[in-house]
Chains A and B, each alone.
Chain A
Amino acid sequence: MSIRLQNIAKHFANTQALEPINLDIHEGELVGLLGPSGSGKTTLLRIIAGLENADRSPQPGKILFGDRDVTNVHVRDRRIGFVFQHYALFRHMSVYDNVAFGLTVMPKKRRPSSGEIRARVFRLLEMVQLQHLANRLPAQLSGGQQQRVSLARALAVEPDVLLLDEPFGALDAKVRQDLRRWLRRLHDELNFTSVFVTHDQEEALELSDRVVVMSNGRIEQIDTPDTLYRAPKNRFVFEFLGDVNHLEGRVRDGVLTCGDAHLNVDLPDGDEELLLRPHEVRLAEEPSPESHLPVTITAISPVGAEVRVELEADWLAKPWQATVRHADFERLHMRRGQRLFAHPRQWHRFKEDAKTPEQQARVA
């Protein structure tokens, strides 16, 4: 079932939690709402669920599930499944009763027979691989297991859309990884439309078909993870999606200068700030005619596919991060305190006034 939001806004007392928002989510899509805390992502999710009401004035917004207008439909009649960050399981009920709850509270004429309920609950428990724990109480399960119960409970009523509020936020890293993969697989199998909230960029990029990046109650960009990362629309999105190195300086005659560092750029004269991802910084023993950026290595973390190196210099306000291939790391004999030269492979620049980004690639 597709979800269409038209002109959805929300005030809490005097603060605007959401500026009027339009959003289309296609049938069968898995969409991540990504943003820092206070960006309005959870509010938006709760409005879709019907747990919160959107503002009626100045203009009433509209929420459509497929062709069904659910703007004024109570949460219990919206046919949604909601998964809470802290599971919100019914502590006094067994796992089985938790999953069966949505079926047993249906009005008599829609309620399946008890045998059918039993079959369906066990099918769901099997799907979340918890059938052997059906008689346990939630307190006897681990966090990851509880969240799976909560997911099975939400899916039991066969909702039109599945909404997840920071579903893996309360779990530790390893379990989070597993559950993420497992949710993705489940989604591909059952093909329900789902929206989840997260503040973790990696989670959003890995899990979603499309990501909605939000800040301050506004949607900054909606795109596939790939496009989002490669072509961020503005500086906020660029900075939120990964580590960023800043290079501030003054441009004169095509040369950006900052202390004893300088870099050739094709930019008009004036103050500039360039942004670089860690993988866009190349390290070498010599400066080049285009760039002279002397740096000192202050920390080395050789864990993972690449070596992470922290760089400092007098002309830098904040240390830079660079990722280096293990081969280069060994070739340059990198060690703490070593002086090297940084060469940008590519840099990005966002003008504050214009929303269109200006990017320039440079092969070093």
Chain B
Amino acid sequence: MSQLAFWRSGSTRVLPGFGLSMGISVLFISLVLLLPITGLFGQLANLSLAEYFAIITEGRVVASYMVTIGAAAVAALVNAVFGLLLAWVLVRYEFPGKRLLDALMDLPFALPTAVAGITLATLYAGNGWVGNIIEPMGFQVAYTWVGIALAMAFTSIPFVVRTVQPVLEDLPAEVDEAAMSLGATDGVAFRRVIMPHLWPALVTGTGLAFVRSLGEFGAIIFIAGNMPYETEITALMIFVKLQEYDYAGASAIASVVLFVSLALLLAINIWQGRFVRRLHGGKG
């Protein structure tokens, strides 16, 4: 019996349960992830290649790509800066309310995005609390791409904070102290000692925030104004197609978002793996 099992698995594993846990994992991924994606491609089968390209290169849709990518890029960069700052504050300083702020970081994950969207829209609309003040000064946020970026930044900030935070915690304060005792100014110590450690996490977090922003829908539609060619996001284009019962068209646009996101995630993963290996002296 045992010889048979040995022959079947090809090698002995000391850690038990590989077959069972791997099987369940694959089943779960298939049901939750792969099956819906297959459905998406099933819909695509109704289109010819020419039709597919016509849909995804239509002017209004292309404009929506630009709006989405542009706003997502701005949101991701803003989050990179402020997310890093927040993570820094949360790790390096002790202050009253630290735990509360830490918990608040996850709020964008927990809050229904539509709630965030409505809140932001009412705040920044011309008659809202904030809009009231900034619109007379010439800044319009609601119903412009700035509003879109704002909503994206809101929903994706935890990605940056939560990826940078553990890396920063792992970096002992002694390292800053060592740099300072050797005469480094704060700026030099940050640039040459701290940043090289944070880079991978920061890029990963920013990348994740960017990808998340590409697909955000609920938080944005309320504040975006949704003017064709100007403030329409790609997710909205999918929604519009669906409302017109154009399932194939919706799937075509969705597939573009899917490919872009997948490619980005893959790139981030590979790049990060390489960086981490270097940091650990080629050992892992």
Contact = CB atoms under 8 A, between A and B. Distances in A.
B182 A139 contact: no
A128 interface: no
Nearest to B195: A92
A137 B284 CA distance: 13
A49 B229 CA distance: 62
Interface stretch (A29-37, A98-106, A118-126, A344-352): A98-106
Interface stretch (A73-81, A236-244, A291-299): A73-81
Contacts of A92: 196-197, 278-279
Given A76-B183, A102-B183, A106-B183, A91 B188 contact: no
A136 B279 contact: no
B182 A101 contact: yes
Nearest to B182: A102
A109 to B, nearest CB: 13
A106 B183 CA distance: 7
Interface residues of B, number: 23
A112 to B, nearest CB: 13
Given A76-B180, A86-B172, A139 B283 contact: yes
Contacts of A101: 179, 182, 184, 192
Interface string A14-45: 00000000000000000000000000000000
A76 B185 contact: yes
Interface residues of A, number: 30
Interface string B197-219: 10000000000000000000000
Given A82-B178, A136-B281, A140-B281, A88 B172 contact: yes
Contact of B181 (A76, A91, A137, A138): A76
B172 A91 contact: no
Nearest to B183: A76
B184 A76 contact: yes
A73 to B, nearest CB: 12
A51 interface: yes
Contacts of A76: 180-185
Contact of A51 (B175, B177, B188, B280): B177
A136 B196 CA distance: 17
B178 A91 contact: no
A14 B174 CA distance: 25
Interface of B: 172, 174-175, 177-185, 188, 192-193, 196-197, 278-283
Interface of A: 49, 51, 74-77, 80-82, 84, 86, 88-92, 101-102, 105-106, 136-140, 150, 153-154, 156-157
